[in-house]
Each structure stands twice: as C-alpha cells, then as structure tokens.
Amino acid sequence: MLLKRHLWIGIVVVLDMAAGPAWAETIRVTIDKLVFSPATIKAKVGDTVEWVNNDILAHTATVKGDWDVMIPAGKSASLVLDKAESVEYYCRFHPNMKAKLAVTEP
C-alpha cells in the first residue's frame, strides 16, 4: 500500500513539472555587427530572453550590479526573467552596444 502511494505522488509531480507555465515565451534578440536587435523588448516574469550572436566576437548582455550573460561568438545564451523591472543592458566588451528590457508581471 505504501509503495502505491509513493508511485501516485511521483506521477503527479512529473505531470505538474511537464506542464510548466503556459504563458512563458522565448524572446529572441540577435546580435549582428555589434548591434542588439531589437534594441527594446518587452517581456513578462517567467519568459526567457535568448541572445543569438551572429558576430565573430564574444559579447555579453550585462545589467550593472545584477546579471551578466556571456554570449560566445557564433553561439547563443539565454536568461529566464525572474523579476519585474525595466533595465538597460550593454555588452561589457563593447560598451556602445546597448539595449532596453521591460519586464512586467504575467
């Protein structure tokens, strides 16, 4: 009897994890010729921002004092947004590369 109870709980947990939040989206930002595009994006808490680096140089998406995402040349990197905020981010290696991100509650 105890074994059946644990099995049932395990199945519920797996199904719940597989469902995930239905509203989460992935927002793609491309980097080409030292430019973030789009330069301004809107997202919600729980969304993922994916930066796709088409340049031959590495870049970052950095918010001073908060997050710093390394984006290797020819690769992509992502960040799940966990709080509502409006920020300006930039590349640490190329400070003229700037963009804006507005995150709201879902």
What pLDDT, on a 0 to 100 scale, did the predictor assign at position 7?
A: 40
Q: 6 lies in a domain?
A: no
CA angle at 89 for the pair 86 and 90, rounded to the nearest 5°: 165
* Residue 36: both structure tokens together: 């973030």
Q: 14 lies in a domain?
A: no
Q: 16 lies in a domain?
A: no
Gap between the Cα atoms of 11 and 16, Å rounded: 9
Q: 5 lies in a domain?
A: no
Along the 106 residues of the chain, how does pLDDT read in single tens digits? 444 444 443 433 344 444 445 579 999 999 999 999 999 999 999 999 999 999 999 999 999 999 999 999 999 999 999 999 999 999 999 999 999 999 999 9
What pLDDT, on a 0 to 100 scale, did the predictor assign at position 20?
A: 46
Gap between the Cα atoms of 96 and 40, Å rounded: 15
Assign residue 53 the CATH number of its domain. 2.60.40.420
How many structural domains does the chain have? 1
